[in-house]
């Protein structure tokens, strides 16, 4: 009996809030909610970290802009300059076109072009620093526990215990079976990748600063991670691995005179990191987009009708909570999958004897 009464109360409160806020919503109905713009602003990188808006006041963190232009050399300034002026030193933030949201150089004729090098510490770069710092602090804290305790006398509890569980899980379930006998050499890299992605995914799910940035849903970030795996695979692959690429065990006419199989193998070398890049990027981006879309339902329906809006709010909150739980799962799964695929690729670069590994 208790539960229905609570739900009833909730509904009554919702309607009370809606009727009191009706005047305000009626006023804003003239403003169309541009869902696409809202979502894109959230999931895309930007030159400042917008935290919230109270009334008309934007609260955001200004970030350093570092540019190298072929015409005017190096530039370093804060992104807050664009609050006051549209164009600063010949640079501006494009509002539309191919470079939407990016800093562009404007010449006298009004033509826009990207500066030769844009090393600005953007929102995502700052988020990367935040998760890097957090990861280093966390792992050093965990490592300190192990330095101060005799591992044979006691097992860690609490947070360190959870970390040990994760480390052991990644080692035993992912690294050891996939990489093979030389797993110890690659374990630190794969563990770093796992914890970096997992932590960054989790931070991305936090709604406010320093979380909320769509870091692992940015292709540059996932590409960087995939590049590291590419290096680990190809720079430390053994002879057998390169023999299988350039002189695979197939009928000779497939290799000479047209190197068909080697071409496919070389193509495969680059497809692997590409797959890593896209799968992580697309999964996280989709998760963020879906979450934001569910939140936007509230504003879209509110702008149509406050009663439908209040009803949809319940649905939207329910779905948002559901999506958040799902994204928690995805945060872990994607970190796990990235680590596992990296392990598999590294394992493939360590064939033991010809014909045995395949």
Partner 1 sequence: MSFLLPETGLLFWMLLAFGVVFFILYKYAFPAILSSIDERKKFIDDALKNAQEANEKLARIEQQGNALIKAAQEEQARILKEAVSTRDRLLKEAHEKALDESEKIMAETRRLVQQEKENAIREMRTQVAELSLSIAEKVLRKELSGDERQEAFTREMLDEAFEKENSAE
By the criterion CB under 8 A, which residues form the site for partner 1? 44-45, 66, 98, 100-102, 117-122, 124-125, 128-129, 132, 135-136, 139-140, 142-144, 146-147, 149, 151-152, 155, 164, 167-168, 171, 184, 187-189, 191-192, 196, 218-221, 223-225, 227-228, 285
Burial of 16 (0-12, 13-18, 19+ CB in 10 A): exposed
Cβ closest to partner 1, residue 20 vs residue 152: 152
Cβ of residue 185: shortest distance to partner 1, in angstroms? 11
Q: Which is nearer to partner 1, 141 or 242 (CB)?
A: 141
- State CA 268 to chain mean position distance: 25
CB atoms closer than 10 angstroms to residue 95: 9
Residue 31 vs 147, nearer CB to partner 1: 147
Q: Closest distance between partner 1 and the C-beta of residue 142, in Å?
A: 6
- For the bound state, the minimum distance from the C-beta of residue 151 to partner 1, rounded and expressed in Å, comes to 4
Q: To the nearest whole angstrom, how small is the minimum distance from the Cβ of residue 140 to partner 1?
A: 6
Cβ distance to partner 1 smaller for residue 145 or 241: 145
201 near 331, Cβ under 8 Å? Answer: yes
Residues in the chain: 358
Which residue, chain included where needed, has tokens 């390169």? 242
Q: Which residue has the tokens 């072929």?
A: 70
Query: Residue 124 or 201: which CB sits closer to partner 1?
Result: 124
Among residues 7, 12, 96, 21, which one has the least CA distance to residue 299?
A: 21
Question: Shortest approach of partner 1 to residue 244 CB, angstroms?
Answer: 28
Q: Which is nearer to partner 1, 74 or 129 (CB)?
A: 129
Q: How far is CA 162 from CA 139, 167, 252, 329, in A?
A: 12, 9, 53, 16
First to last CA, the chain: 63
Q: How far is the CB of 117 from partner 1 (least distance, A)?
A: 7
d(CA 356, CA 358): 5
């Amino acid at each position: 009996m208790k539960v229905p009464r609570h739900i009833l109360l909730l509904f009554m409160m919702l309607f009370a809030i809606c009727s009191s806020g009706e005047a305000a919503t009626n006023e804003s109905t003239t403003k169309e909610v541009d869902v696409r713009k809202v979502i894109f602003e959230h999931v895309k990188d930007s030159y400042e970290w917008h935290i919230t808006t109270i009334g008309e006041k934007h609260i955001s963190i200004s970030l350093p802009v570092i540019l190298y232009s072929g015409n005017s050399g190096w530039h370093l300034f804060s992104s807050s300059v664009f609050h006051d002026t549209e164009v600063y030193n010949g640079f501006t933030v494009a509002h539309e076109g191919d470079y939407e949201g990016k800093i562009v150089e404007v010449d006298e004729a009004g033509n826009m072009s990207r500066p030769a090098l844009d090393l600005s510490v953007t929102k995502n770069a700052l988020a990367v620093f935040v998760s890097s710092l957090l990861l280093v602090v966390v792992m050093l804290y965990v490592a300190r526990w192990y330095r101060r305790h005799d591992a044979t006398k006691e097992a860690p509890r609490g947070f360190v215990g959870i970390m040990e569980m994760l480390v052991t899980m990644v080692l035993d379930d992912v690294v050891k079976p996939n990489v093979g006998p030389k797993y110890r050499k690659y374990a630190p890299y794969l563990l770093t990748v796992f914890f970096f992605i997992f932590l960054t995914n989790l931070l991305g799910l936090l709604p406010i600063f320093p979380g909320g940035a769509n870091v692992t849903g940015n292709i540059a970030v996932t590409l960087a991670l995939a590049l590291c795996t590419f290096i680990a695979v190809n720079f430390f692959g053994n002879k057998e691995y390169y023999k299988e690429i350039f002189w695979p065990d197939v009928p000779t006419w497939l290799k000479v005179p047209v190197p068909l199989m080697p071409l496919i193998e070389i193509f495969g070398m680059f497809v692997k990191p590409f797959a890593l890049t896209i799968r992580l990027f697309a999964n996280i981006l989709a998760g963020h987009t879906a979450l934001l879309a569910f939140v936007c339902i509230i504003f879209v329906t509110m702008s149509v009708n406050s009663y439908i809006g209040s009803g949809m709010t319940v649905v939207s909150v329910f779905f948002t909570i559901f999506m958040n739980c799902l994204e928690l799962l995805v945060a872990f799964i994607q970190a796990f999958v990235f680590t596992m695929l990296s392990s598999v690729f590294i394992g493939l670069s360590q064939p033991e004897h010809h014909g045995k590994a395949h």
